[in-house]
Structure 1
Amino acid sequence: MHNRPRPPKGLPEDPKAVEAGRVRLQKLSRVCNEVLKRVAEDRVDEESLKLAAALLEQNPECYSVWNYRRRAFQAVLQGRDGSAAAREAADAELALTERCLRRNPKSYATWHHRRWIIQKGLTPLKHELQLLGQLLEVDSRNFMAWAYRRFIVALAGIPPRDEEQYAAGLIDANFSNYSAWHARTTLLHAVHSGPPVMSVSQLVAGDQAAGAGSEHNGSGQPSSAGASAELVPLAALRQEFELVHQACFTDPEDQSAWLNHRWLLARTFAHTQGPQTSAADEGSPAHQDLTEIFEQEVDMCNQLLEVEPDRTKCKWPLLTLARLQEMQQQLGLRAGSQGSTQQSAADIYRELMVVDPKRKGYYADALEGRAHVMAV
């Protein structure tokens, strides 16, 4: 779980809690051994299935036991007539996985089993969205729940615009919801009828080889692994910048919005790359839009720096301002000499070496021109 404090180091353990844990472990071990014995014997009876379910509720990561249940229910769930027996079995398995997920919301094996049941097409999908809403309320950055949501959304044919609004609602509730920001980046191309785009996670990782991967993740939606640097309309990017501004002014130290801001800058910068773009042509409408966007973002960073007297809390606006100045210089979007622009960015990197000493090496590389300003 995120934002869950760890107990202090050196804190003595409660003897009663230790003993209770030992007894619980012994009991679980006995049940596990018995279930695995029955699995090896391929015993498929009501008692064995109940015992397996009890074990999974205590330890949902028993892959072998989930495999055993799939073998046990495969025949009845394959019924093409949608028989009552098949629906009853599917509902029972979904109920079991839900209990397991509430105990361990990040159980790979449980999510896989639930997806297997849903793919049989025997149950409505409305409850899946309700369950996901509850789990994401507990942990908004549960990446397994987000992946499963993309699967359900594709299966249910929910419009990308609706998912974009869902992500916006989560962001409004918590600007630090990095997963919701990421979800919006993966939806922009679909909402605005464009091709796949690079995800925030790829941008941060600097994974330039991602474009060689598959374009889909098996869930019916484009995969971030197959993302490319195709264009997102500037009008759409302007709207996203406005949303990010709200988050940046609310909490300038929160990195979630700033990482998304960097992604938006990369998508804006992409309008100057390739033969199909016109933003690099001075005097063109696209060039004017690009100039306005970069000037707007520079102003935003300067406003944040003016209202925050403590420079140690200004890492993100400082770093973003330096990158913006370098991008403006590279694209010839800023008046004045090249040397003066570069010097301003250099001064910022020197200040960042003091403000954020843990990343002093990165800022030193940026100062020497060895760090990428922006990946597109």
Structure 2
Amino acid sequence: MHGVKRLRLTPQAAETKRLKELSKIESYLAIEQDVLSRKRVKDYSDEALGRTTRLLDLNPEFYTIWNYRRTILLSLFPSLSPEDITSHLISDLRLTTSYLLVHPKVYWIWNHRKWCLESVPHGPGESQKWREDFWKGELKLIEKMLEADARNFHAWDYRRYVLSSLPLARPKTEELKYTQTKIEANFSNFSAWHCRTKVLSAIWAERNATPEEVKKAKDKEFELVTQALWTDPGDQSGWLYHRWLVGQEPPLDTLRREIRNIQDLHEAEPESKWCVNALAHYTLLLARHPSTGEDEAMRLRGEAKRLFTILEKVDPHRRARHRDMAAQCT
């Protein structure tokens, strides 16, 4: 780190440090060899389960060991009562919780949690109660993790999984409010915007919404995303959501309105590549709209070509793509 004086180790201290690190490596390799040997001979004992815990404590990204651990548990379950199976699963949920606090973006940990939840015994009584409590606990865990890192897409993906698995479905309008809270706290939260597209689509499908109802709902969403675009026109998240709202076959009045709004933003932020990119894309959409006459379409294609030429300068990393797009505007 800058400004922090680096301490020099004496030769003796450096050697001590080296030997300590070497000892850790040797210890890890010994545990790894032991566990992999047990896996090869199909050792599915409680002792083998404990050894996988030791290895995963050192390396929770070792997906082969997660697979082996599940195989061990599945071999043990037939001889256990539902209560004992539940106890094992609770232990593994606690184990993965401790790992996620340090490694919140490791797929294999999240996958093992899913497996645990899906393995809770079915049936009446205590096991069913545990099953319901598990899912509620998962939702609370996800909310805490998103408080720590609101843009962790692993947590957002897992949240959708949990919500779809709750014994009692949570109203989708509540999830819509949740995503808005996260978005308003940070407009660059791409995962929250993405989740919002899924929730809105599900609501419209569930209600069998008419095109007019969808358009009305989208108009409200345009108000939200416009705040994001004006707040930080250089952030991609809001622009992607805006493009999703516009769609590939937008109503003519919506398309013209959004082009005018973005033109206003372009005047204020002429160097915003995402602003110019959106204008070029929507101008082409307008040129291809069935109600657009040929003369107007030709003029719009010329304007789109001009915008892609501007993009070659403000977005040089994608110069070749913008040049190709400009060539297609003729």
Partner residue in 1 for 2:273:
315
**May I ask how many residue pairs the two structures share in their alignment?**
305
1:60 maps onto 2:70 in alignment: no
Alpha-carbon spacing, 1:132–1:22, altered in 2? closer, same or farther (3 Å): farther
In the TM superposition, what is the alpha-carbon distance from 1:79 to its structure 2 partner? 8.3
Partner residue in 1 for 2:127:
none
SS of 2:205's partner is coil
In the TM superposition, what is the alpha-carbon distance from 1:270 to its structure 2 partner? 2.7
In the TM superposition, what is the alpha-carbon distance from 1:43 to its structure 2 partner? 4.2
1:77/1:89 contact within 8 Å kept: no
Q: Which amino acid in 1 is paired with 2:320?
A: G
Greater displacement, 45-54 / 235-244: 45-54
Q: What CA distance in whole angstroms lies between the structure 2 residues aligned with 1:253 and 1:184?
A: 21
- Specify which of 161, 174, 183 is matched with residue 151 of structure 1: 161
- Specify which of 324, 339, 342 is matched with residue 282 of structure 2: 324
Q: Which amino acid in 2 is paired with 1:120?
A: S
1:87 maps onto 2:86 in alignment: yes
In the TM superposition, what is the alpha-carbon distance from 1:81 to its structure 2 partner? 6.9
Partner residue in 2 for 1:297:
258
Partner residue in 2 for 1:115:
114
Give the CA RMSD over aligned residues. 3.4
Partner residue in 2 for 1:239:
220
In the TM superposition, what is the alpha-carbon distance from 1:254 to its structure 2 partner? 0.3
1:368 maps onto 2:324 in alignment: no
Greater displacement, 240-249 / 160-169: 160-169
1:270 maps onto 2:249 in alignment: yes
User: After superposition, what is the alpha-carbon deviation per residue over 1:78-133, rounded to whole angstroms, capped at 9, x for unaligned?
Assistant: 689742x2332221111111122223223232222211110133442122112222
User: After superposition, what is the alpha-carbon deviation per residue over 1:346-370, rounded to whole angstroms, capped at 9, x for unaligned?
Assistant: 2222211111122121221221217
2:187/2:228 contact within 8 Å kept: yes
1:130 maps onto 2:140 in alignment: yes
Partner residue in 1 for 2:194:
182
Q: Which amino acid in 1 is paired with 2:162?
A: I
Q: TM (normalized to structure 1)? A: 0.71
In the TM superposition, what is the alpha-carbon distance from 1:251 to its structure 2 partner? 0.2
In the TM superposition, what is the alpha-carbon distance from 1:304 to its structure 2 partner? 1.2
1:318/1:348 contact within 8 Å kept: yes
Q: What CA distance in whole angstroms lies between the structure 1 residues aligned with 2:288 and 2:41?
A: 69
- Specify which of 216, 235, 239 is matched with residue 254 of structure 1: 235
Q: What CA distance in whole angstroms lies between the structure 2 residues aligned with 1:22 and 1:240?
A: 57
Alpha-carbon spacing, 1:145–1:231, altered in 2? closer, same or farther (3 Å): farther
Alpha-carbon spacing, 1:187–1:78, altered in 2? closer, same or farther (3 Å): farther
Alpha-carbon spacing, 1:107–1:78, altered in 2? closer, same or farther (3 Å): farther
User: After superposition, what is the alpha-carbon deviation per residue over 1:153-172, rounded to whole angstroms, capped at 9, x for unaligned?
Assistant: 11112232222222222111
Structure with the larger helix share = 2
Q: What CA distance in whole angstroms lies between the structure 2 residues aligned with 1:40 and 1:61?
A: 20
Alpha-carbon spacing, 1:304–1:67, altered in 2? closer, same or farther (3 Å): same
1:181/1:260 contact within 8 Å kept: yes
In the TM superposition, what is the alpha-carbon distance from 1:322 to its structure 2 partner? 1.9
2:302/2:329 contact within 8 Å kept: no
2:304/2:329 contact within 8 Å kept: no
In the TM superposition, what is the alpha-carbon distance from 1:192 to its structure 2 partner? 1.6
Q: What CA distance in whole angstroms lies between the structure 2 residues aligned with 1:343 and 1:328?
A: 12
SS of 1:131's partner is helix
1:70 maps onto 2:31 in alignment: no
Q: What CA distance in whole angstroms lies between the structure 2 residues aligned with 1:325 and 1:50?
A: 62
Q: What CA distance in whole angstroms lies between the structure 1 residues aligned with 2:287 and 2:203?
A: 32
User: After superposition, what is the alpha-carbon deviation per residue over 1:40-65, rounded to whole angstroms, capped at 9, x for unaligned?
Assistant: 44445554433321211221133343
Q: Aligned ranges for residues 15-54 of structure 1 at < 5 Å?
A: 19=18, 22-54=22-54
Partner residue in 2 for 1:282:
none
User: After superposition, what is the alpha-carbon deviation per residue over 1:126-148, rounded to whole angstroms, capped at 9, x for unaligned?
Assistant: 22112222333444443332332
Q: What CA distance in whole angstroms lies between the structure 2 residues aligned with 1:265 and 1:95?
A: 44
Q: What CA distance in whole angstroms lies between the structure 2 residues aligned with 1:80 and 1:44?
A: 14
| Higher Rg | 2
What residue ranges of structure 1 are gaps of 5+ in the alignment?
Answer: 1-6, 197-229, 272-289, 372-376
What residue ranges of structure 2 are gaps of 5+ in the alignment?
Answer: 121-129
Alpha-carbon spacing, 1:330–1:176, altered in 2? closer, same or farther (3 Å): same
Partner residue in 2 for 1:100:
99
1:352/1:363 contact within 8 Å kept: yes
Partner residue in 2 for 1:224:
none
In the TM superposition, what is the alpha-carbon distance from 1:68 to its structure 2 partner? 3.3
1:298/1:321 contact within 8 Å kept: yes
SS of 1:233's partner is helix
Q: What CA distance in whole angstroms lies between the structure 2 residues aligned with 1:239 and 1:338?
A: 29
Q: TM (normalized to structure 2)? A: 0.79
Greater displacement, 30-39 / 92-101: 30-39
In the TM superposition, what is the alpha-carbon distance from 1:231 to its structure 2 partner? 9.8
